[in-house]
Amino acid sequence: MSTQPPTDTNANIGLNAGFGRDRIVKLLLDNSVWVLLVLGTAVFNYLSPQYFNPFKNIQIYFNIPMQSAVMGVLTIGLAGTILLGDIDLSCVGMMAVSAAVGVLLFKTFHLPGIAAYAIIIAIGTFLGFINGVLIAKLKTVSLIETLAMNTTLTGVVLAITRGRTITVSNREYTWIGQSKAFGTVPYLVFILLIVYIVMYVVWRRTALGRSFYAVGGNAQCAKVSGINVDRTRIAAFTISGMCAGIAGIMLSAKMSSINSVFGQTYGMDIIAAAVIGGTSLQGGVGKVAGILGGVLLINFIQVGLQVFGLDSYFVQMATGLIILLAVLIDSLRIRFQSRI
């Protein structure tokens, strides 16, 4: 007569419950930006239903992607460098310089709009490539090198504009920032979606994208496994520069002008959006969809605070608190993953 060993049913139930809780916590931490976006929408809708109720004012929810477009393109470029465990603080400077030179050439030599766009993207891409070479080949610290590059480029923009505003009202240039496809969807939103779709494919479906994750996770192991770490870093910073150039086209066409402080308000916002979107400052962790959520969350909160009539410095304080929250969530995510 065979006997079955006794089983502790309560222990198994408790173990399964523990695993269930761990999965729920991990799911919430990995998608915290969307949870915060839903909570923010609910809170703002409660405080101001006449403005944030989608059934009464759906237009605001269409305006958010439009306002997020430039910041979104800058952020996805920056996020690629953070994914490696580095950071690019020169995104705004590259955007401003490339746009300023392109607008100046467009006005001075009466270039076709498409030619001006190509020049702007080429300048941004080249500046990003220079960042990548200095960081990968000369082993400079990305934080210091890109900060120095941004300071230099800010001075170049000031020299180009001489402190004044350079306007560009020609529709051949501004149409991309001010027109709508089929009279409904702004072209800026289309550009945002195209860039994010392309970056999703690059990050998730190409060898380069897999190299980003591998280098960010452990650069030494990635090198031993045959990945060219230097080339991967150069590619990430080059893509960041290219995205900065695209954002330069979008913002200058939208504003119909360039000035000495062009785009400087995006400096901290893009870092906040990337980190709160789930891109770990430790490297190796990040999702394109999360980054898009971070961009939408930052813009939604800023618009909401302005609707409630808060002064601009309170909006800036809120952005700083969001960055702090993003860092805390990132820290919790790392600690939780090391525990399970």
Say how far apart CA 35 and CA 161 lie, in whole Å.
Answer: 43
Give yes or no for residue 332 having a pLDDT over 80. Answer: no
Say how far apart CA 29 and CA 285 lie, in whole Å.
Answer: 12
What is the phi/psi pair of residue 66, to 5°?
-60, -45
Tokens 């934080």 belong to residue: 143
Domain 50-339 has CATH 1.10.3470: yes
Say how far apart CA 175 and CA 50 lie, in whole Å.
Answer: 33
Instruction: Choose the weakest-confidence range: 36-40, 149-153, 180-184, 250-254.
Output: 180-184
Whether the CB-CB separation of 117 and 267 falls below 8 Å is answered with no
H-helix segments, the chain: 9-30, 32-47, 49-52, 59-83, 91-109, 113-136, 142-161, 171-178, 187-205, 207-217, 219-224, 229-255, 266-276, 288-307, 312-339
Give yes or no for residue 215 having a pLDDT over 50. Answer: yes
pLDDT of residue 331: 78
Give yes or no for residue 248 having a pLDDT over 80. Answer: yes
The pTM (predicted TM-score) of the whole model is: 0.90
Return the domain boundaries, the chain: 50-339
Give yes or no for residue 11 having a pLDDT over 70. Answer: no
Convert the pLDDT of each residue in 185-210 to its tens digit: 899 999 999 999 999 999 999 999 99
Which helix or strand (DSSP H or E) is residue 186 part of?
strand 185-186
DSSP conformation class of 42: H
Which tokens in the block code for residue 120?
């702007």
Convert the pLDDT of each residue in 56-84 to its tens digit: 888 888 889 999 999 999 999 999 999 99
Question: Taking CA 267 as the corner, what is the angle to CA 265 and CA 268, rounded to the nearest 5 degrees?
Answer: 100
